[in-house]
């Protein structure tokens, strides 16, 4: 399949499928299945385009990742929205199915920093635009969606609409934890609506504060990393003319490397903490059921 390949139905037909899912008319099951299979093929095409772009930034066996680099620990997933979530979204947004951007969605969870997330999203945007797709980049980083952080690409082509999410490892674990809490306590908390339980509201606030704190920490580290990289470039030009003056920079570089190692351990501890919270929430869910 190509992004410039036209589907065998109109926007009006797709909207009537949406109406049928909402119970407003009879569902054309054959056409609905055609739409699902078409978008699954479109997601497969997106994957084939995206992976080589990501691989250009992969650094294998790196002790520390610098801004602009990702590890080869790349987790991909994709899905077509199920009927319940389609109906919920159509109702919440008061929109038509043909206008739903994430009817078909894909996600890459990658080991990287926020600045690198933005860079990867930029790489993918350019590649898709070269294939005649319209791509809108939506960075939910500095300003989150109720604690949720990622960079989204809204992709529109002749073949259809897709949403691609790009998250780093902490953001992915945080989102999965919050998603589980929403499954237990009500999907509306994902959109800022308070729970009727004060204990749940306190947990939501705590999770959001953790998300904010980790982002500020990562963004500051990215800022330092970029400055160090600029100095490194200048030092390369200076190295052969005044080598005796490089000792101070070597010390700065060592201190920065040590700091990166410590922050990497801290970040992994936070990811592990999210996993622990998920396990505890699953235990609560079993008791509730």
Nearest to 211 by CA among 183, 180, 177, 185: 177
How do strand 134-145 and strand 148-157 relate by DSSP bridges?
antiparallel
Burial of 192 (0-12, 13-18, 19+ CB in 10 A): exposed
Looking at per-residue pLDDT, the higher value among 212 and 227 belongs to: 212
What is the token pair recorded at 118? 């933005």
Confidence at residue 110, expressed as pLDDT on a 0 to 100 scale: 96
Cα distance between residue 255 and residue 186, in whole Å: 46
Q: How confident is the model at residue 255 (pLDDT cuts 50, 70, 90)?
A: confident
Question: Could you report the per-residue pLDDT of 107-144, keeping only the tens digit for each?
Answer: 999 999 999 999 999 999 999 999 999 999 999 999 99
- Least confident piece of the model among 119-128, 153-162, 240-249: 240-249
Question: Could you report the per-residue pLDDT of 264-285, keeping only the tens digit for each?
Answer: 888 889 999 999 999 999 887 6
Residue 110 three-state SS: strand
Asked if residue 252 belongs to a domain, the reply is yes
Same domain, 109 and 233: no
Q: Which residues contact 250 (CB under 8 A, 6 or more apart)?
A: none
Question: Could you report the per-residue pLDDT of 142-155, keeping only the tens digit for each?
Answer: 999 999 999 999 99
Do 85 and 18 meet the contact criterion of CB atoms below 8 Å apart? no
Looking at per-residue pLDDT, the higher value among 249 and 195 belongs to: 195
Asked if residue 176 belongs to a domain, the reply is no
Asked if residue 178 belongs to a domain, the reply is no
Rg (CA), the chain: 22
Same domain, 220 and 104: no
Q: Which residues contact 67 (CB under 8 A, 6 or more apart)?
A: 113, 115, 116, 119, 222, 225, 226, 229
Confidence at residue 244, expressed as pLDDT on a 0 to 100 scale: 58
Asked if residue 132 belongs to a domain, the reply is yes
Contacts 24+ apart (CB under 8 A), 9-18: 9/34, 9/35, 11/96, 11/98, 12/98, 14/96, 14/97, 14/98, 15/96, 15/97, 15/98, 17/97, 18/86, 18/90, 18/96, 18/97, 18/98, 18/100
Total count of domains within the chain: 2
Residue with tokens 């978008």: 39
Query: In the 8-state DSSP scheme, what is residue 24?
Result: S
Distance of CA 44 to the CA centre of its chain: 18
Same domain, 21 and 162: yes
Same domain, 222 and 87: no
What is the token pair recorded at 186? 């009500």
* pLDDT of 229 above 70: yes
Nearest to 104 by CA among 48, 148, 44, 145: 44
Cα distance between residue 87 and residue 83, in whole Å: 6
What is the token pair recorded at 91? 């109702």
Nearest to 175 by CA among 214, 211, 216, 141: 211
Question: Could you report the per-residue pLDDT of 56-82, keeping only the tens digit for each?
Answer: 999 987 778 899 999 999 999 999 999
- Mean pLDDT, all residues of the chain: 91
Residue with tokens 């899912």: 21
* pLDDT of 289 above 50: no
- Least confident piece of the model among 42-51, 189-198, 255-264: 255-264
Asked if residue 177 belongs to a domain, the reply is no
- Least confident piece of the model among 170-179, 248-257, 262-271: 248-257
CB atoms within 10 A of CB 262: 10
Same domain, 132 and 204: no
Asked if residue 180 belongs to a domain, the reply is no
Instruction: Please give the average per-residue pLDDT across 184-204, as a whole number.
Output: 92
Asked if residue 6 belongs to a domain, the reply is no
Domain extent, residue 258, equals: 198-288
Asked if residue 192 belongs to a domain, the reply is no
Same domain, 258 and 137: no
Percent of the chain scoring above 70 in pLDDT: 93
- Least confident piece of the model among 16-25, 40-49, 205-214, 219-228: 219-228
Do 55 and 101 meet the contact criterion of CB atoms below 8 Å apart? no
């Amino acid at each position: 399949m190509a992004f410039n390949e036209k589907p065998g139905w109109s926007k009006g037909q797709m909207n009537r499928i949406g109406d049928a899912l909402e119970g407003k008319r009879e569902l054309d099951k054959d056409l609905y299945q055609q739409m699902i299979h078409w978008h699954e093929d479109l997601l497969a095409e997106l994957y084939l385009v995206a992976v080589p772009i990501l691989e250009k930034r992969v650094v294998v066996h790196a002790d520390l990742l610098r801004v602009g680099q990702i590890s080869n620990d790349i987790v991909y997933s994709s899905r077509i929205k199920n009927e319940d979530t389609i109906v919920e979204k159509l109702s919440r947004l008061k929109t038509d199915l043909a206008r739903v951007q994430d009817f078909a969605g894909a996600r890459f969870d990658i080991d990287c920093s926020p600045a690198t997330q933005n860079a990867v999203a930029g790489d993918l945007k350019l590649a898709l635009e070269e294939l005649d797709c319209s791509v809108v980049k939506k960075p939910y980083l500095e300003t989150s969606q109720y604690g949720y952080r990622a960079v989204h690409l809204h992709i529109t082509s002749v073949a259809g609409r897709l949403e691609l999410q790009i998250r780093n490892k902490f953001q992915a674990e945080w989102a999965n934890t919050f998603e589980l809490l929403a499954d237990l306590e009500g999907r509306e908390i994902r959109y800022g609506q308070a729970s009727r339980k004060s204990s749940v509201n306190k947990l939501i606030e705590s999770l959001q504060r953790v998300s904010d704190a980790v982002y500020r920490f990562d963004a500051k580290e990215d800022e330092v990393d970029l400055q160090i990289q600029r100095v490194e470039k200048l030092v390369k030009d200076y190295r052969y003319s005044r080598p005796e003056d490089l000792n101070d920079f070597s010390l700065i570089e060592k201190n920065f490397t040590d700091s990166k190692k410590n922050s990497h351990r801290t970040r992994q501890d936070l990811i592990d903490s999210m996993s622990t919270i998920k396990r505890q929430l699953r235990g609560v869910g079993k008791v509730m059921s």
